[in-house]
Every structure is written in structure tokens, then in C-alpha cells.
Amino acid sequence: MVDMDILKKRIGIVGGGQLGKMMILEAKRLGFYIAVLDPTTDCPASSICDMHIIASFDDEKGYTELAKYADVITYEFEHINADALEKLENKGHTIYPSVTALKTIQNKNLQKIALEKNNIPVPRFSVVSTAEEIREFGRPENFDFPLMLKTTTGGYDGKGNALIKTKNDVENAFKQLGSGEKELMVEEYIDFEKEISIIACRGIDGSKVTYPVAENTHIKSILDTTIVPATISTSAGEKAAEIAEKVMTVFEGVGTFCIEMFVTKQGDVYVNEVAPRPHNSGHYTIEGCFAGQFENHIRAIVGLPFGNTSLIKPAVMINLIGQNDGNAKLLGLEEAYGNPNVHVHVYGKRESKADRKMGHYTVVGETIEESLQCANELKQILRFVGE
């Protein structure tokens, strides 16, 4: 029997974007009270939350206010004020995933150190502060070029990253990322064949579940397409699942995590990055699995048992990216819904911007070929434009 006190828990979410909105949609099925902190008055979550605290993600007072309306606090992205959350945690407030996990993952260097210490394969890396240190890292007797240069904090969707193809590109990449004004790290470039990810969840009691391996394709460093099941070898899939289990143990976080990985032609698997939250590449789980990533995230943070993470049928998820700036308008919805296997999600952002994630759609079919063909055909039909 469900303890009714669980259903009385109030949930606070830092961030009212599309991930926060989709968390709320699942939480509301059980009637949870939801408070959101977000600086944007008409953020996607604003239309369905019970309380919207309009405050900057750096504003400590905003976090204190959020805590008044929440028995458990979670977050939809990691670029937030972890110190403010830590103060709340020290006062006895419940934060999931933990602030310790958040602080480690927020800094890509600390994240990689934690993974490496636990024998989880990652690209070799080093913190650098000058262009000369980057060139030294890329000497043939070390790792050679190409290399990846990253800001250790704040980067997403390709922002804060620069590919250095040869030593002649070092200076430009260094300037592009602020000439050392922000902490930088350089990584060996993994010549990957596939980019994959696994969504994994951990409960308050330490129980863990993982979702099927997803295969991801990016355009301009922004996720474009996710295919499940991934077209990788059984061996690589088993390695990825084992790594995902280890990562969850390392960070001991409660809730949904995403582990992004590279698979080489030789079948080796390396962790690229970890996100302590539901993830874009896990959107396929909403219709593609018996219990989606957002449902299991809510279950985790309130202490409920997990739902079934098995794949129902092969699924393909494609992001709807803004084509240009202006008032948002979605084209092709009626035509897309002519296929009963198509599921469209509109995030509710009023302004379309070039390269902005405005929504996504998922096709669930009998075969991966069928789903992929339909999904690709819709690319020419289903589009967000600015007017």
C-alpha cells in the first residue's frame, strides 16, 4: 500500500524549461504540489506549476524561497547555484541529486577525475591555462592532434568546446574560449564510430535501473536524432551498461542521470560527460518505454519503486530546432499526425530562435527501419519557424 504521506510531498524544481515541464507532467499524474524557480515569467513550466518563483539561478534568496514550498528539491539542469543548494542541504532540506554529486559534475575536470579514480574509461585530459600548455599536450610523444578544448564549467550543446585539428589551430581555439579567463581543460580526441548514451536512475534506497542504449547524432554539436535500440555490437552495449552502473555508484545520486559515451571502431567505450538529470537523449523513453525517464525521476526523489524501463518498440526521437528568430510557429502538425505512430511535444517557448530547442517528436514503430524512415520524412514537414 502506498504511504499517502508520500503523495503529500511538495516538489521544488530549479529550472522551468522543457525538462522541468516534463517532470511536472509526470508528477501531476499523482497530484504532487510543484514549485518552480526560473527567471523567465513565461517559461515552459510556468503554465502548469503551482508556484513560480521568478528569480535568477544565482539568487540565493530565490532558493531560500523555493525551499519554503518544497519537501524535496531537484533541478532540470546543472548550471545553477550549487552553493545556495548546499546551504539548504546543511539546514536539513532534501536535495536530489545530492549537492556533492552536482558540484563534482558541474566541473568537467572534477567529473573526469572522479570517473578516472574509479577505473571508468575516459579520454585522457589535463587542465591548461596557456596556449603553450595545449601545444605541449598535443606533442606527438604525448597525445598528438586533434584535441578537444573545453571550458570546465558552463558548456552545453557545443558551447564552451573547440576542436583543435592541428597545432596551427591552438591559438584560435584558446582565444575562442576566452584566452584562459575561464578554467580550461584539454582532452585527447576520441576517434569514435558512434555516440551513445544511457539513462540510469537511482533510488533513495540505492536501487538502480537503466534504460536501453541510445544512439545519438548531433548537428552543430546539438542533438538531432536519437535511435533506440542503438546499432552497436552486443559487446559494446554490455560495456556501456556496465559503465552506466558504475557511474551511478560513483556519484551516489538519487534521481535520473544520463551517461554520454563514445564507441570506437574497435568496440572500446569511453565516457564523454555525465548529466545529473533527465536528458534530451532520453526523451524517447516517454512513448518508447513502459515508464519514461521523467516518471522514474519523480518516483526516485519521492521514494517510490521504479517503473519498467524496457523498450516497448523501436523508437526514433528527433529534436525540433528553431529555424530563425521571431514569434514561434509550428508547421506541419496535422500532416505529421496523419501517422498514428508519431508523438509531438511542443515546449511552449513563445520565441523561436535559430538553433533553439523548441520541441521534439518521437516515432515508435514495429522496426527501427520503419521508425527511422518516418522520422526522417517528417524533417521536411514538421518545423518551427519565427514570424
Q: Are residues 357 and 218 in the same domain?
A: yes
* Same domain (yes/no): 208, 304: yes
| pLDDT of the residue at 154 | 84
State the pLDDT at residue 28: 98
Name the DSSP class of 305: P
55 and 87 inside one domain: yes
Let me know whether 199 and 287 are in one domain. Answer: yes
* Closest residue by Cα to residue 375 from 344, 330, 329, 353: 344
Domain-embedded: residue 172: yes
Same domain for 258 and 310, yes or no, is yes
User: Is the residue at 24 inside a domain?
Assistant: yes
The domain spanning residue 165 has which CATH number? 3.30.1490.20
Give the span between the Cα atoms of 81 and 59, in whole angstroms.
8
Tell me whether residue 140 is in a domain.
yes
Say whether both 76 and 31 belong to one domain. yes
- State the residue range of the domain holding 85: 4-95
Which neighbouring-strand residues pair with 36? 13, 52
Q: What are the pLDDT digits (tens) for 97-131?
A: 999 999 999 999 999 999 999 999 999 999 999 99
Q: What's residue 4's pLDDT?
A: 59
**In total, how many domains does the chain have?**
3
Residue type, 192: F
Whether residue 296 is contained in a domain is answered as yes
CB atoms within 10 A of CB 205: 9
Domain co-membership, 77 together with 213: no
Q: What is the CATH number of the domain that holds 48?
A: 3.40.50.20
Residues 208 and 343 in one domain: yes
Residue 221 lies in a domain: yes
Cα(282)–Cα(279) distance, rounded to whole angstroms?
A: 5
The CATH number given to whatever domain includes residue 282 is: 3.30.470.20
d(CA 370, CA 243) in angstroms, rounded, equals: 30
Tabulate helix, strand, coil % of the chain (nearest 5). Answer: 30, 30, 35
Q: Is residue 209 part of a domain?
A: yes
206 shares its domain with 353 = yes
How large is the C-alpha radius of gyration of the chain? Answer: 21
216 and 79 within one domain: no
Return the pLDDT at 236. Answer: 97
3-state secondary structure of 89: helix
Q: What is the per-residue pLDDT across 5-60, written as a single tens digit (0 to 9) for each?
A: 898 999 999 999 999 999 999 999 999 999 999 999 999 999 999 999 999 999 99
Q: Where a domain ends, among 188, 218, 234?
A: 188
pLDDT at 3: 61
Which 3 state secondary structure label does DSSP give 343? strand
Q: pTM for the full model?
A: 0.95
- Residues 200, 89 share a domain: no
**Which residues on neighbouring strands pair with residue 100, listed in sequence order?**
none
Low-confidence ranges of the chain (pLDDT < 70): 1-4
Considering 167, 188, 209, which residue would you say is the last residue of a domain?
Answer: 188
196 with 176, same domain? no
Read off the C-alpha cell for 344. 509531438
Where does a domain end: 95, 114, 134? 95
Burial environment of residue 168 by CB neighbours within 10 A (0 to 12, 13 to 18, 19 or more): exposed
- Please report whether residue 103 resides in a domain: no
Asked if residue 202 is part of any domain, the answer here is yes
